């Protein structure tokens, strides 16, 4: 019996990635760096999960040593800029998300998030899109550097399950990317996918369902129907 839903954040709850890209570029400019990440650049960089990790990858591509570069400080500035952009009203939830979370609460399902984005980013999104702090939206918030290995490693999902005190057969993950799917499946979770604008080109073998948007799920009854053959 399913007792919890576990959501990725960026690209799943909302189409955040272009705001992230904008925040990176704003922070690069403020730091006096001659960097600009185009959509094509960012699509490639998104195959590496975590903002600090993307900066590090980019530095390697420039033949620069990340050890001699203030990666953490630059990422912190980017996080602050991203929060300001969200607070300015430049973000809305993806179709079907608000209704799905509301129905889940109504029928007594527990809610968690499992994401590589930082906890302040989760907080900013929840306050902007739900009008509530993140702790009033999700019982468990597994975010950022709380585990050492980020997606596609399963660690963040395993952490969320441990905090919920549930087995993987008792929860379903919701994701937008192939890395997220791999992480969820490696943790033993069934996973519903709805690709975001940056992940439409990816393949999703092993997904419970691949939807254009989460409103196509048909709510908790639709989820139950998807799970029924495996039960």
Active-site annotation, residues: 8, 10
By the 8 A CB rule, do 185 and 191 touch? yes
CA-CA distance, 231 to 211, in Å (whole number)? 21
Question: How many H helices and E strands in the chain?
Answer: 10, 6
CA-CA distance, 34 to 139, in Å (whole number)? 41
CA-CA distance, 140 to 62, in Å (whole number)? 38
Nearest one of 10, 1, 12 to 217, comparing CA atoms: 12
What is the chain's length?
Answer: 231
Q: What are phi and psi of 141, to 5 degrees?
A: -120, 105
Q: Three-state DSSP class for 178?
A: helix
Q: Three-state DSSP class for 7?
A: strand
Q: Facing residues of 191 across strands?
A: 173
């Amino acid at each position: 019996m399913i007792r919890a839903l576990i959501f990725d954040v960026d690209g799943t709850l909302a189409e955040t990635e272009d705001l992230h890209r904008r925040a990176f570029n704003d922070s690069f400019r403020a730091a006096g760096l001659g960097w600009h990440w185009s959509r094509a650049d960012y699509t490639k960089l998104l195959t590496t999960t975590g903002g600090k990790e993307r900066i590090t990858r980019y530095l390697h591509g420039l033949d620069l040593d990340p050890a001699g570069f203030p990666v953490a400080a630059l990422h912190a500035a980017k996080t602050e800029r991203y929060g300001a952009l969200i607070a300015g009203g430049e973000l809305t939830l993806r179709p079907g998300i608000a209704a799905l979370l509301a129905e889940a609460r109504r029928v007594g399902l527990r809610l968690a998030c499992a994401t590589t984005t930082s906890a302040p980013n989760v907080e900013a999104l929840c306050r902007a899109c739900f009008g509530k702090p993140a702790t009033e939206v999700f019982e468990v918030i597994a975010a950022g550097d709380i585990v050492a290995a980020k997606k596609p490693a399963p660690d963040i999902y395993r952490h969320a399950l441990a905090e919920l005190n549930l087995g993987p057969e008792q929860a379903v993950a919701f994701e937008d990317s192939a890395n997220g799917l791999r992480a969820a499946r490696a943790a033993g979770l069934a996973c519903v996918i709805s690709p975001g604008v940056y992940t439409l080109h990816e393949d999703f073998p092993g997904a419970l369902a691949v939807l254009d948007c989460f409103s196509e799920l048909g709510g908790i009854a639709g989820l139950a129907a998807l799970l029924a053959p495996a039960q």
